[in-house]
Amino acid sequence: MTEQVKFEAALAELEQVVDRLQKPDLPLDEALALYRRGTELAQQTEALLSRAELQVQQLTQAVRERFEEYSVEEDEASAGTGDE
């Protein structure tokens, strides 16, 4: 849950940075500082998304393995009843 909050906050701040960078009257030093902050936020959100993607892949694999076990158990059960 904390990562989701961090992601949402970082994404919202990144959107604000982009909006401010698009203003034509922005002083150069402020633009550079905002650009630096924007790249930090982009890296942070990318890392959070990568971790979330890995978790989804791991959960998907666990579900597949569980269904495979269930399928094998079911096949063994039905094969055992056919021999009798």
List the CATH number of the domain containing 6. Answer: 1.10.287.1040
Range of the structural domain that residue 9 is part of: 2-82
Residues 47-81: tens digit of each pLDDT: 999 999 999 999 999 999 888 877 777 777 777 65
**Residues 6+ positions from 47 with CB-CB distance below 8 Å:** none
pLDDT for the residue 46? 96
pLDDT for the residue 56? 96
pLDDT for the residue 66? 86
Angle value at C-alpha 60, between 58 and 65, nearest 5 degrees: 95
pTM of the model: 0.70
Residue in the block written with tokens 């698009």: 22
Closest CA to 53 of 63, 64, 45: 45
Overall domain count for the chain: 1
Residues 27-53: tens digit of each pLDDT: 999 999 999 999 999 999 999 999 999
